[in-house]
Amino acid sequence: MSDSSPTPRSVTRRTRVSWGSRLGDAFKGIVIGLVLVVVGLVLLFWNEGRAVQTARSLAEAGSVVVSVNAGEVDAAREGELIHLVGPLDVPEPVADPEFEVSAEAAKLVRTVEMYQWEEERRTETRTQTGGSEERVTTYEYRPVWSDREIDSSRFELAAEHRNPPKPYGNREILAENARIGAFGVGDQVLRLLTADRDLPVDRGLAEGLADRFERPVSVSDGRLLVAQDPGNPQIGDLRISFAAAPTSEISVVGRQTGNRIGPYQTQAGDAILMAQSGTVPADAMIRAAERENTLMTWGLRLVGAAAIFFGFVMVFRPIAVVGDVIPFVGRLLRGGIGLVAGVATLVLAPLVIALAWLAYRPLIAVLVVVLGLAAAFGLQQLLARRAAEAEAAEPKDAQEGAG
């Protein structure tokens, strides 16, 4: 632990990279760019298949789910997808043995934050005549509370900003032998519940932990604070909080297997198991899962398209580096490469999406292709117009130079 209060600081490094080194790196980047393009295409294709399968699985679940009385097990529903609602019964409190914290809960979540150095890098590049490049990198260091252990050995100024090992990690403790009425509830269901109820700790617990940490332990806002001076945190200080998933009304959708609830395997391919705190109808739970599927689908589409775009940028980057011998030419080429990469992405991404959907939703597949081609045509026209404007400006520039 540091002996003085950590003060944010920054340092700047300037490096010069020759044109030859940049060109060599650009040619090496072609391989990485091709890999990115392939990864993006595969991700898009896989994501569409996943989205269709999940959508069909949820539609199947909505058509067969049956709400049952949680107070009794109906043997006639064996193997079916059922929906039940009831208070969660936990025979014994859930306890964290390392900190002697317990609660009547479905699960107990411990979050351990440590006061650590964090490094932020910002790089600006300036291309010089002849193709060399000056890179100005600023490294900023500031202390932050984080439950993620930050590896300071990779810092530019590692010797001056060392983070100690985190002595305790985050942990999730699940209730044992939990039940909803006559039905047993296993770990798979409990993990789906959200620990959204803060569990304040008392001062008596803090006093008992002081010897373990060899530092004062206090309570601040219901959390344990391991620090010499609570108002002036030092690198290595800890902040430990607890949260619980309540045992009030729980809503579950899953397969009835004997007197237990587990995943239901749909014919479409997905296994269905849902759980939420509160009284939630089955159709509302399925609609929420459909919204999550839509958000995930669009998120992965953006990731795949970005991978394709930046892959093409890397493939064509040597052209821009060659043009950087005259910085103005390099900037023009880089802008053109961006447009070309954008056109290629707008053609390939919708095409792959359409191919993936073709077997399932032919009309949507055709619509996606048409929209993609229209967008690509629009970009191509913009590129052609800019090229024409540049050609028209050349004679005027030449006349002004002669004058």
Which DSSP category does 89 fall into?
E
Residue boundaries of the structural domains of the chain: 17-51+295-402, 66-280
Please state whether beta strands 183-185 and 260-262 pair in parallel, antiparallel, or not at all (unpaired). Answer: parallel
Among residues 305, 329, 306, 324, the alpha carbon closest in space to that of 26 is found at 324
Is the pLDDT at 363 greater than 80, yes or no? no
The model's pLDDT over 149-206, given as tens digits with 9 standing for 90+, comes to 999 999 999 999 999 999 999 999 999 999 999 999 999 999 999 998 999 988 878 8
5-15 average pLDDT score:
85
Is the pLDDT at 358 greater than 80, yes or no? no
| Whole-angstrom distance, CA of residue 104 vs CA of residue 88 | 10
Is the pLDDT at 398 greater than 50, yes or no? no
Q: Identify the pLDDT of residue 1.
A: 45
The model's pLDDT over 200-244, given as tens digits with 9 standing for 90+, comes to 988 878 877 877 887 888 888 889 999 988 889 999 999 999 999
Q: Identify the pLDDT of residue 69.
A: 94
Coil, strand or helix at 184 = strand
pLDDT-derived band at 6 (thresholds 50, 70, 90) equals confident
Q: Identify the pLDDT of residue 2.
A: 44
Is the pLDDT at 3 greater than 50, yes or no? no
| Whole-angstrom distance, CA of residue 295 vs CA of residue 287 | 13
The model's pLDDT over 321-330, given as tens digits with 9 standing for 90+, comes to 888 888 888 8
**In the numeric block, which tokens belong to residue 350?**
């919708």
pTM of the predicted model as reported, rounded to 2 decimal places: 0.78
| Whole-angstrom distance, CA of residue 352 vs CA of residue 37 | 12
242-253 average pLDDT score:
92
The model's pLDDT over 378-394, given as tens digits with 9 standing for 90+, comes to 777 777 777 777 667 65
Which letter, b or e, does each residue of 63-91 get, where b requires 16 or more Cβ atoms within 10 Å of its Cβ?
A: eebeebebeebeeeeeeebbbbbbebebe
3-class DSSP string for 204-250 = HHHHHHHHHHCCCEEEECCEEEECCCCCCCCCCCEEEEEEEECCCEE
| Whole-angstrom distance, CA of residue 392 vs CA of residue 374 | 27
Is the pLDDT at 105 greater than 50, yes or no? yes
Q: What is the mean pLDDT of the chain?
A: 88
**In the numeric block, which tokens belong to residue 83?**
């929906």
391-397-399 Cα angle (round to 5): 115
